[in-house]
Amino acid sequence: MTAAPTISARVRLRLPLALAAPVWRAAAQAAARPNILMIAVDDLNTDLGCYGHAQVLSPNVDALARRGIRFDRAFCQYPVCNPSRTSLLSGRYPESTGILENTTNPRAHMPDAVFLPEFLRRNGYFTGRVGKIYHDGMDGPNDWDVSLNPRPEAGPGRQGEGRNLTGGKFAFFQWRAAEGGDEDQPDGMIAAEAVRLVEQKREKPWFLAVGLRKPHDPYIAPKKYFEPYPLDRIAGPPGPANDEDDIPAAAYPPVRHGLGPLEAREYKRAYFACITFMDAQVGKVMAALERSGQASRTLVVFFGDHGLHLGEHGWWNKVTLFGRSARVPMMVAGPPVSRPGRVCRRPVELLSLYPSFAEWTGLRPPAGLQGASLMPLVRDPDAAWSRAAYTVVTRGKGLGRCLHDERFRYTEWPGGEVELYDHDSDPHEYRNLRDDAAYARVRRELANRLRESTTAAKPAR
Ligand SMILES: [Ca+2]
């Protein structure tokens, strides 16, 4: 499928042997390059066992964290599917991609950008995608050798106990404890295809991108995944019900929908069930990688594209800069990890995956990438790290912008409102320290850093 063999043949015919030799070497090097298994999960917040959640069952993701490095302060660049994924796949901040919502094609403002899958494919990789990697339907024409998006047509996955929680305008908040097994659901089918792709023998090194759709709503999973979560064991959100004295209105979405006490518990139970269902699919893919004998030359990366509120700050979705929405789970496992099971507390960004993969594969990345490779932290989670994590979200005609460093979140909104939270003492962000004299210096320093980050996030000229 790739053009590489044709070009090689043409070059060999035209050039003297001495000049042609590097072409042969390049082909041999391509064959020796290592693999990448990237597992992207839709709308997954950090409610996982390995992130300290006491109730959610995620044994396979927890096992991945034990064999890799778990990033405790990883953040998306925009807390909505398409802007986040476009940033990650282009290696650029949303203010450079120009993609700030779900309907515009990632390439609309970047016709010359080489996105991550195409970059690897141009360099001799087999590239395979199963499920949701780009926001749906927006994959590029040169990205994939194999591109699969399995979905069941009908069957027992559409039956079972369920309910529409919100009705009307927000009818997408539904849950269903479905009849049937894993492969009656899209994620079960995605995992089965991913297993087949991992098991296939191929000459080329490979990049396999597996995009699991749960726990994105509607919250549908086979009913066995609901059983560990009895409704009467589901707790309400932490913190005060009304926290708006301290926090500017811009921090919240313009339209908010609430859930009654019973609906709130149903929502959380169904989200947790979908996490456990997703986790089981991760287990299948990881088991296939082990069986295939390729784990020793494969980097495994797992992440959520952004987080999700489960009632915290009175909200049940994403699109905020609160940690519930901007923070993501991320872990990296594979040969560069010398001491598995460690936790990295450096603030890191999803858009760093592109330059990380370039470093791991030994390929020179294209111009225009704005993130820093995470490989120094994968090798040593305590390595020196000067960056903060930068996330933006649209409010009205402007952008709210925030920085996470190793301890604080600092945010500026278009109307001039400011937020400052100290995660050491206030991890759920209920006490805005913007006017606290004890934090005046921190606020000043972070304001300066935010200005620098905003400049760095603009398109390169
Ligand atoms: Ca998403």
What is the tens place of the pLDDT at every residue in 257-304? Answer: 778 888 999 999 999 999 999 999 999 999 999 999 999 999 999 999
**What is the distance in A from the centroid of ligand 1 to the CA of 305?**
5
Taking domain 34-386, whether its CATH number is 3.40.720.10 is answered by yes
Per-residue model confidence (pLDDT) at position 3: 37
Per-residue model confidence (pLDDT) at position 153: 87
What percentage of residues in the chain have a pLDDT greater than 70? Answer: 90
Per-residue model confidence (pLDDT) at position 18: 46
**What is the distance in A from the centroid of ligand 1 to the CA of 322?**
16
**What is the distance in A from the centroid of ligand 1 to the CA of 16?**
52
Residue pair 379/333 in contact by the 8 Å Cβ criterion = no
Per-residue model confidence (pLDDT) at position 412: 98
**What is the distance in A from the centroid of ligand 1 to the CA of 339?**
31
Residue boundaries of the structural domains of the chain: 34-386
Provide the token pair at 217: 């709503």
Split at pLDDT 50, 70, 90, the class of 193 is very high
Average of per-residue pLDDT across 181-209: 97
**What is the distance in A from the centroid of ligand 1 to the CA of 307?**
8
Per-residue model confidence (pLDDT) at position 198: 98
Per-residue model confidence (pLDDT) at position 10: 37
**What is the distance in A from the centroid of ligand 1 to the CA of 304?**
8
**What is the distance in A from the centroid of ligand 1 to the CA of 43?**
4
**What is the distance in A from the centroid of ligand 1 to the CA of 444?**
33
Average of per-residue pLDDT across 345-372: 97
Per-residue model confidence (pLDDT) at position 258: 75
Is 90 exceeded by the pLDDT of residue 187? yes
Is 60 exceeded by the pLDDT of residue 389? yes
**What is the distance in A from the centroid of ligand 1 to the CA of 79?**
8
**What is the distance in A from the centroid of ligand 1 to the CA of 126?**
26
Name the 3-class secondary structure at 248: coil
Name the 3-class secondary structure at 360: helix
Split at pLDDT 50, 70, 90, the class of 460 is confident
Is 80 exceeded by the pLDDT of residue 186? yes
**What is the distance in A from the centroid of ligand 1 to the CA of 390?**
18
Distances (CA, A) of 452 to 75, 92, 346, 456: 18, 16, 19, 6
What is the tens place of the pLDDT at every residue in 212-256? Answer: 999 999 999 999 999 999 999 998 776 665 666 789 999 998 777
Distances (CA, A) of 160 to 152, 221, 226, 231: 16, 10, 12, 17
- pTM score, whole prediction: 0.93
**What is the distance in A from the centroid of ligand 1 to the CA of 266?**
21
Average of per-residue pLDDT across 408-426: 97
CA 389 from chain centre, in angstroms, equals 14
Split at pLDDT 50, 70, 90, the class of 170 is low
Average pLDDT, the chain: 91
Residue 300 β-bridge partners: 37, 333
Is 80 exceeded by the pLDDT of residue 12? no
**What is the distance in A from the centroid of ligand 1 to the CA of 42?**
4
> Cβ contacts of residue 191 below 8 Å, gap of 6+?
182, 210, 212, 281, 282, 284, 285
**What is the distance in A from the centroid of ligand 1 to the CA of 40?**
9
Is 80 exceeded by the pLDDT of residue 171? no
Which has the higher per-residue pLDDT, 21 or 228? 228
**What is the distance in A from the centroid of ligand 1 to the CA of 326?**
11
What is the tens place of the pLDDT at every residue in 70-100? Answer: 999 999 999 999 999 999 999 999 999 999 9
Dist. CA 74–CA 52, nearest whole Å: 15
Average of per-residue pLDDT across 101-107: 95
Beta carbons within 10 angstroms of residue 330's beta carbon: 27
Distances (CA, A) of 296 to 186, 201, 299: 29, 16, 8
**What is the distance in A from the centroid of ligand 1 to the CA of 157?**
22
